[in-house]
């Protein structure tokens, strides 16, 4: 177990070739488990903020479009305010969600 977690490394060095291979396998297994745990945790954290990320991407596209069209500052402010009011940081397909609930 200590080799899987890479703690106490070198405290009990392998005495034979078989011990060395088992220690190596144990360390690789521990590193793999740690990588899987870290990957799943990262994926969970990213999925919690999915709606907010989609909203920011949409707002960024709108801002780029307004800059491309060189819209007046007042109109840009009104459009940005509209999107902030319309989505209020939430970006989801309400019709799809309600459609799935009625089935």
Radius of gyration of the chain (CA): 26
User: How much is the pLDDT for 90?
Assistant: 66
Which superfamily does CATH assign the domain made up of 17-100 to? Helix hairpin bin (1.10.287.630)
| In the chain, where the domains are located | 17-100
DSSP 31: H
User: How much is the pLDDT for 51?
Assistant: 75
d(CA 39, CA 45): 10
Cα 19 to Cα 14, 58, 79: the distances in Å are 5, 56, 68
CB atoms closer than 10 angstroms to residue 3: 20
Q: How far is CA 1 from the centre of its chain?
A: 30
Written as six digits, the tokens of 35 are 């990588």
pTM: 0.49
| pLDDT string in tens for the chain (103-residue length) | 565 666 666 677 778 999 889 888 888 888 898 899 999 999 888 877 777 788 888 889 989 999 999 999 999 999 988 888 887 756 666 777 777 776 6
């Amino acid at each position: 177990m200590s080799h899987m977690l890479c703690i106490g490394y070198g405290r009990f060095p392998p005495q034979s070739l078989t011990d060395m291979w088992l220690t190596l396998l144990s360390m690789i297994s521990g590193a793999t488990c740690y990588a899987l745990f870290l990957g799943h945790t990262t994926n969970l954290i990213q999925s919690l903020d999915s709606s907010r990320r989609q909203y920011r991407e949409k707002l960024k596209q709108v801002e780029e479009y307004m800059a491309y069209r060189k819209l007046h500052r007042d109109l840009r402010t009104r459009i940005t305010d509209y999107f902030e009011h319309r989505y209020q940081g939430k970006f989801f397909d309400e019709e799809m969600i309600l459609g799935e609930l009625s089935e």
